[in-house]
Amino acid sequence: MSVEVNFEKCMHCGACVGACPENALFLNDVALEVNENCIECGLCVKGCPVQALSLGGA
């Protein structure tokens, strides 16, 4: 997985989903899923209001 979700921090707000240029994120109520369309641009990481996301390996 290219983007890692810290579920302890995630507030299921969808800000990352709207910011993602590749439609690589899907928020099903409280479960945030990352799909293979991710190009690791990092926009979601930057846009998350509580820094719940990181690029894999980082």
Partner 1 sequence: MDIQDDKVINCDVLVVGGGPIGSTAARFAAKNGVDDVLVIEKRQEIGSPVRCAEGISLTWLDEVEIEESDHFIKKKVKGSKLYSPNGNKMTIGKELAGDEVGGVLERDIFDKEMAVLAGREGVNFMLKTAATDVIKENGKVTGVKAKKMGEEFEIHADLVIGADGFESQVGRWAGLYEQIPSKDIMTCFQYRMVDIDIEPDYTHFYLGKVAPGGYVWIFPKGDDKANVGLGVQLNQLDGNKSPKDYLDEFIDSHEGLKKGQAVDMVAGGVSVGHPLDSVTMDGLMMVGDAARVVDPLTGGGIANGMKQAKIAGEVAAEAVEKGKVDEDFFSRYEERWRDRLEDKIWRNYMAKEKAVELSDEEFDKIIDALSEVDLTELTTEAILKAVQKKYPELVESFKDML
Residue numbers at the binding site for ligand SF4 (CB under 6 A): 2-3, 5, 10-16, 19-20, 22, 24-25, 27, 32, 34, 38-44, 48, 50, 52-53
Give residues in contact with partner 1 (CB under 8 A).
11-19, 21, 23, 26-29, 43, 46-51
The DSSP letter of residue 18 is: H
Q: Which amino acid is at 49?
A: P
Burial of 48 (0-12, 13-18, 19+ CB in 10 A): buried
To ligand SF4, the closest distance from the beta carbon of 11 in angstroms equals 4
Q: Which does 54 bind (CB under 5 to 8 A by kind): ligand SF4, partner 1, none?
A: none
d(CA 35, CA 1): 8
